[in-house]
Structure 1
C-alpha cells in the first residue's frame, strides 16, 4: 500500500481523525507522503523539502485567522501534504480557526489524540514507505525476469506484450520509418502511430529518449540499437509519470528489443553484445539458460577475460569489425559509452585481441578478468579504468592489477602534470632563480621526513634552524598553511611529480 494520508488514516491502531472535508480532500489524501516532520515553529518551511506530513501540538500557533491563514499558506507553498495536530497538551481540541482555514485552502488536517504519540505516526509512515519500496523492488525484479523470458520465447512481440502488461499500459515497436510493427494491446496502434512525427528528434542521437503527454497518457519513446543509428523505436504509454521502476523496465525492454533486431550480420552481433553488456552493467541477474537463449553462451564460461579499447571512434569501429570477423562466437564485443568492450574465455582469444590493435598508437588497451558472469560488470569498469590510464604509457597497454602498484603521478597526463607543478611551485622557482636557494628541495626533504626538522636537516646537510627558516619562507611565498594535511599533500604530490617525471631548470639549482 502506498504511503499516503489515506493509508495512514486507515490504520486502526493510530486513531487518527480527518477534520477537513474528505470529499474535497480525496485527491490530497492520495498524495504520497515522503516523510514525517515535527515542528512547533510558526514558519518551519526552511526545514522542509516538500511531501512531508507536519506534526505539531500548536505550541506557537498564531490565534488570529489572518495569521493562521498565512501559516497554512506557507505550508502549502512548501509542499506539505497534511498537518497532524496533537491535542491534549496545548489545547484540548484543534483550534477552530485552523480547521476553518485548512478546509478553505484544501490542506488536510488530522487530529492526533493524546494517547497516540507522534513517534507512532512517524513509525507507521516509515513502515508504509518500507513496504512500498519493497513492493517496487519486487515488481522490478519480477518484471525484468518476465521480460527476459519473453525475449527468449516470444522474441520482439513477446517483449512488447509483456512490457505492456507489466506496466499496466500499452507498448509498441516501431520500424525506423515509424510504421507500427507490433502493438499491445492491438487497440494501441493509433496511439503509437501518433508519435511518428516526433521520431526525427531522436534519429542520429545516442542514448536519447523522448517523453510526451498524449491526453491522459505519459508516453516515452526510446530508440533501439543507437550504436547503428537507430533501427526502430519502443513506444510506451502509461497513465502516470514513469517512476524509477517503470524506467528500469523500459530500459530492459529497450535492450532486449535491440537485441532481437540485431541478428544475422556483424552489426547485429555487435548490438546483441551491447544489449547483453548493458543488461549486466545495469545489474540485471541473468541465468545461464537466459544467457544462452539471448546468444550470450560465452558468458557461461569461466574464467572470463575482459579487454577495453579506448580511442577515436573510427579506429574503434574498425577494430570491432575485425574482432567479430576473426573470433566469431568466441568473443562478445560491443561499443559501450564510447569504449570497445571485448570478452573472451581463452588466452588465445585475448592474444588475438592484442594482435588486432592497430600500429601507430591511437588506441589504449586495458585488461581485467572475471571469474563468472556476475562479476563482468565490475571487470568492465576495471578494464575501462586501466585503458584510460594506459594512454600515458608506451605501449599503451595496462592491466587493472598493475594500477595499485603504480604511483598516482604516473596516472596523470604529462602536460597537465607539468602545468600543475609549475603553477603550484612557481613562487619557489622564482625565489631560487633570484637567490640560488632551492626551497623546493628543502621543502621536499622536510615533507619526506613528516615535518621533522632534525632528520630533514641532516639529509640536506644544513643546520635545522636554516631548514626551519626555509620552510617558513616557502610557506610565506606559497601563501599556504603547512600545518594542514591538504597543503602538505598537494605540495608533496607536486614535488614528487617533478622528481619522477618532470625536468625543469628549478631542479638544477643548488641548495
Structure 2
C-alpha cells in the first residue's frame, strides 16, 4: 500500500496554479503552513468564525475588516479559536498591503496570514481545492476499506498472530511489535531497521509507557499503541514504532493498528497455543536454523522474551518422543519459563535451550526435564549438546545434541539423558546402520559364517563372538562357551578356514569384532 498523502496543507494549496497566480506572500504564522486544509471559505463578514468548523482556508478581500486594532484582534482571535487553517487576504480592492494590526494579531496567535498582490478568482480556488480535498477523502475511504478487507481475509483464513503483525508492518511501512502483559515482545516485524534496534531494552522502555485505554501515542519514545483485549480482559498490546525522520502517525496508521489488534483478538480466541509458546517456538527454530541476521539480533529477540542472554552459557536439549511433540512441549515449558526457550521442532521432537549462569551445573535441570517428559512418554529419549557461551552459537549445541540422539541405542530409556561422552563404537554403528557400506562390510566379514551355521546347524558365530569378547584369550573363551579347550581350538581353526583369517592377528580380530557389533545393531534396529 502506498503512503497516504493526507489532506492538503496550507503550503500545498498555495502552490496550486490557481493561487500561485496571485503571487502569495506569507507575512505571518509561517510555522503553520503545514496545517491541513479541510475546506475553503469565502467571507466578507466581520464575524466569519460563526460559520466555520475548523480547518478552513479563509479567503477575503479585506473589505469587512474593522479599522480599530482591538476589533482586528477579536477578528483574528475568533478565527484562531475555531481552528482556521489560514487567512488569505487579497490586496486589490481595499488594501495594498496588510494592515500592521492584522499582522501583529496573526503573529500573536500563530495564524498563517497570506497576502495576494494580484486578483484571484476565489470561486475557482474553492472549486479546485474542494475537488482536491474530496478526491483525497475518496482515496482515504478506499484505503480504509482495503485495510478492513485485508484484515478480514486474515481472520477468515485463521491466520496466526505472526501473519497479523507482519501484515500491519507491511501496510504501515513501520515496525510493529506485539507484547504480552509482562512487557515481553513476543512478535516483532522490523521495517527500515533491525530487530536489535527495535527490541533494545524493550521491557524497560515498555514499562516507561503508560498502558491506556484506546489507541494513544506514548512518550518518551513516541510509540503508537493499542490494547489487545476481549470482554474487558487485556492480553497485551500491539505497538507501532515511529520511523526516524518520517512524519508522525497518520489516521491510516491508527486504522491499521486498531484492525490489527482486533484481528489479533480473534486469532487468540481461535488458536489454542498462547502467544508466548508460539514466540518461543519461532525464536528457537530461528536459532537452530541460524536464521537470525546477526548475533546481536538473536540476543535481542531472546532477551525481549525474558531469556537471560548476557553473562550466561547455553545448552541445547532434544526430547524425542513417540507422542505428539506439542504435548511434551506444553508439559515442560512451565519449568523453563524464565530460564529457557522450549518449542516443538518436529512432529516427534521437542527442543529446549537452557540459559545457565556461568559455572552453573546443568545436570539436575536436564534430569528433571527428562522425568517431566516421561510423564507423557515413558520411552522419551533426552539428548544433550555442548555448552556454548554465545546465544548465536546455539545451533552448534543443537547439532551435537542431534548427533547424540541419532546414536542412542533402542532400549536405552532407563538412562535419563544422553550426551556425547556416552557415545561409543556400538552407538556410532547404530547411527550408520542404514549406510549400505556398513551393511556390505558385515556381509563381507561374516556373511559366509552365518550361512554355514544356517546350513549345517553349527554354532561357529557364537564361538567367534565369545572368543573376540574374551580379547583372544582361549581359556576364558572356552570357559564362557562351555567348551573344552580342544573343541574350541578345532572351531577356531574351522573359523579361520571359512573366513580366510588369522585370528592371532589383532587387526583382523578387530575387523571381525566391529562386523559382529554392526550385525547386532542391524538385527536390533
Range into which the TM-score falls when normalised by the shorter chain: 0.3 to 0.5
Q: Which has the larger radius of gyration?
A: 2
Higher relative contact order (CA 8 A, sep 6+): 2
Q: TM-score normalised to the size of structure 2?
A: 0.43
